[in-house]
Amino acid sequence: MKFLIALGGLVAVKNSPIFKNKLTRAGLKSVYYDTADFLLQRGGISLRVRHIEGAFIQTVKRLAGLGLFDRDEWESNITGERPDPSAWAETPVPSILGDRGVHTLAPVFSTVVQRTIRLWKAKTSLIEISLDQGELVAGDFCEPIEDVELELKKGKVTDLFSVARRLGADAILKLSFDSNAKRGYRLIGQERSTDTHASRCCRKTVLGWRQRQGDERR
């Protein structure tokens, strides 16, 4: 379950008792790949390579069709920032790409976020609660990312809803069914926009992320 944080509600979420202790934090940059004619998107697939703490993780996702909160997902560690065909062999990607090779894939948009994670135990359930702050970047355009995501690692869905209600009591949250991939493809459709403030905002975020990565390597 993903919730968008209402304007001005970020402080309230951060001050929630849920995010008071036992937290882990990480900087994430995720790059989404597709062909020039968006073949993967048209096949209901997203392909992402995420850089986190010096590691690269490739993820293929599609809507499973079993419910609004269910998605098929294939995740693999890879050795570099470019997609690795050997890691998607058991996914729908080969059947969608057909004879097209990995060289036909290019970055189409990316996300740069700072993630705060809390593992919440409720009786026999374990729920991962992630608070993301950052931006979705597509060329010269961007939009802010301020959301909370709840993932049921094990246990009962009712416990997941209980945590969601608890967060909702601390801040105004809006349930969202749009993945970052869907938001990114929608943003690409705004390429005729003249919102120059957005482009300045994006460049600042990306440069800040690169600076942090350089500091970590030193």
The CATH number for 81's domain is: 2.40.320.10
Q: pLDDT tens digit string along 57-82?
A: 999 998 655 455 556 889 999 999 99
Q: pLDDT tens digit string along 32-42?
A: 999 999 999 99
| pTM score, whole prediction | 0.81
Q: pLDDT tens digit string along 2-23?
A: 999 988 888 888 888 888 878 9
SS (H, E, C) 9-61: CHHHHHCCHHHCCCEEEEEEEEEEEECCCCHHHHCCEEEEEEEECCEEEEEEE
DSSP string, the chain: -EEEEPTT-HHHHHTSGGGSSSEEEEEEEEEEEE-TT-HHHHTTEEEEEEEETTEEEEEEEEE-SS-TT-EEEEEEEESSSS--GGGGTTSSHHHHHTT--GGG-EEEEEEEEEEEEEEEEETTEEEEEEEEEEEEEETTEEEEEEEEEEEEEES-HHHHHHHHHHHHHHS-EEEE---HHHHHHHHHTTTT---HHHHHHHHHHHHHHHHHHHHHH-
Nearest in space to 132 (alpha carbons), one of 60, 52, 195: 52
Q: What is the count of structural domains for the chain?
A: 1
Q: pLDDT tens digit string along 110-157?
A: 999 999 999 999 888 999 999 999 999 998 888 999 999 999 999 999
Q: pLDDT tens digit string along 89-116?
A: 999 999 999 999 899 999 999 999 999 9
Q: For all residues of the chain together, what is the average pLDDT?
A: 84
**C-alpha torsion angle, residues 168, 174, 175, 176 (rounded to 10):** -150
Nearest in space to 36 (alpha carbons), one of 100, 80, 90: 100
Domain span at 24: 2-217
